[in-house]
Amino acid sequence: MTKNFNIKLFNTDGRRLEDFKPIHAGSVGMYSCGPTVYDRVHIGNLRFVVVNDIFYRFFKAAAYNTHWVMNLTDIDDKMIAKAQAENCSITEIARRYTKVLFDDLRAINISIDEIEIVKATDHLKEMRDMVDLLVNKGIAYEASDGIYFAVDKFKDYGKFAGIVMDSGKTQARIANDTYDKTSPQDFALWKNDPDFEGGRPGWHIECSVMSAKYLGQPFDIHTGGVDLIFPHHQNEVAQSEAAYNKKLANYWLHNEFLMIEGEKMSKSLHNYLTLEDIVKKDFSPLALRYVLISAHYRTLLDFTWESIKGAETIIGDMRRFYVKSELFDSNSEFDAEAAYQKFMHALANDFNTPEALAIVFEVIGNEANIGPAGLIFMQQVDQILGLNIAQSTPEEIVNLLKIMDEARSKKDYTESDRIRAKLNQLDYEIENSAHGSYAIKRK
Ligand code: AMP
Ligand code: ZN
């Protein structure tokens, strides 16, 4: 079923489309910079996780042994501020919002049980060791308030992010976690903090430590939103390469923003929506998932309520095709394997989800494709799309549909109406087609 695809990825490091060559044949290691668990994530953050989930599911479907690691930042300025505001420990804040995060990720069909989710606070010792190594190598230095990475000791600082350094300012420091992104200067590796015995880490060091610990250095693919290219990913590159004299990751994939009314969706602009807001308006989390994969991951995507309404309709059409394919057979020559290969090729081309979805529309738009081959096709593509299309009609419902159609063919409309009412009661909507009646589960 699977075959080797020529996978092309747009690598931020070098900013070009490249052939994907894994470090170990047949395997992929992928590290994603996950959220800070200080609050519920917004649907822009969910765009990042959903596109990463598509990357993961694609590699799996293409027969790669795929190891996906995602970190949770559970110690930083935002965590501390929230704990103070709510008068509890940062551990309690982390516990509370990790649970909310996992619920959201499950609802939107992220392969959460297959991700190795790692927490910054479980790696404090390793982080401190890496910081000490950088100090011993003369690349980091101690100051009164912590330990800093000396940017001018790293030859290519700025190259990864495409930023030209202003050498006159390299000793100016950025002391907090909420970095001023226009001041690419020495950054904190470790912070003295009276509330934390022995101090606490800066933000960037956790990803250098955890990615290499779980995937090795170098590893294959590092991901994040475009806002992380600088300074976060530039700093990860500087730390890791300076410490170990080898590359951190071979391919860097960055998703563009989810926008709302023309602006980046973000907490600081107060223009964000959460999954709760979506569900409150009676839209399904999977309709949001559809919206988030409907655009190429490297293009800006504007969230609108019309787009999610449209997504509900499209998912409905996909389910309808699936249900009909299970019940009927149009005996056509539909070549499911060829269509699936086309779908996979679209994704192999830097995850071109709009093109892959167009192939699905082409298939479901043709009634002649209904049947066992159509069923297999939808099952296969749904392994990657994750839209829960492949939902079988229970046997009890199929039997009732048969009895209803038989009654109708004998013009026994009292009986057929009675069965229709029963199916409605069981929460199914009955629809008719040239092939016969079928049932669609209500939301
Ligand atoms: P944060 O908690 O802000 O570090 O965000 C977690 C992840 O979501 C990072 O990879 C960000 O780049 C990504 N992200 C944040 N805002 C957006 C947005 N509006 N659209 C897409 N991705 C985002
Ligand atoms: Zn990171």
**What tokens does 78 get?**
């935002």
Mutate to test the pocket of ligand 1, among 36, 45, 46, 101 (most ligand atoms within 8 A of CB): 45
The DSSP secondary-structure symbol of 188 reads E
Pick from 362, 377, 244, 357: which is nearest to 290 by CA?
357
Phi and psi (nearest 5°) for 220? -75, -60
CB-ligand 1 contact for 258 (6 Å cutoff): yes
Virtual torsion, Cα 44, 49, 52, 58, nearest 10 deg: -110
CA–CA dist 186, 183 (Å, integer) = 9
pLDDT score of 180: 38
**What tokens does 379 get?**
């099952």
pLDDT score of 337: 97
Ligand 1 atom closest to Cα of residue 228:
12
Tell me which residue has tokens 């995507």: 301
pLDDT in tens, 253-305: 999 999 999 999 999 999 999 999 999 999 999 999 999 999 999 999 999 99
CA–CA dist 62, 428 (Å, integer) = 36
At 280, which helix (H) or strand (E)?
helix 275-280
The DSSP secondary-structure symbol of 185 reads -
Ligand 1 atom closest to Cα of residue 36:
2
pLDDT score of 164: 79
CB-ligand 1 contact for 40 (6 Å cutoff): no
Residue type, 264: K
How many whole angstroms from 226 Cα to the centroid of ligand 1? 8
pLDDT score of 435: 87
Burial class (CB in 10 A: 0-12, 13-18, 19+), 6: exposed
CB-ligand 1 contact for 257 (6 Å cutoff): yes
**What tokens does 201 get?**
């880490």
CB-ligand 1 contact for 251 (6 Å cutoff): no
**What tokens does 371 get?**
């049947």
pLDDT score of 74: 96
pLDDT score of 24: 97
Sign of CA dihedral 393, 398, 400, 406: positive
Residues 6+ apart with CB under 8 A from 123: 206, 209, 210, 213
Mean pLDDT by runs of 10 across the 443 residues of the chain is 79 97 97 97 98 98 97 95 96 98 98 97 98 97 92 92 68 47 70 93 96 98 97 96 98 98 95 98 98 98 98 97 95 94 98 98 97 97 97 94 94 95 95 91 83
pLDDT score of 3: 55
pLDDT score of 171: 43
- DSSP for 23-54, please give it: SSTTEEEEEE---BTTSPPPHHHHHHHHHHHH
Tell me which residue has tokens 């501390």: 80
CA–CA dist 38, 270 (Å, integer) = 16
Pick from 296, 252, 234: which is nearest to 17 by CA?
252
Mutate to test the pocket of ligand 1, among 48, 203, 211, 275 (most ligand atoms within 8 A of CB): 48
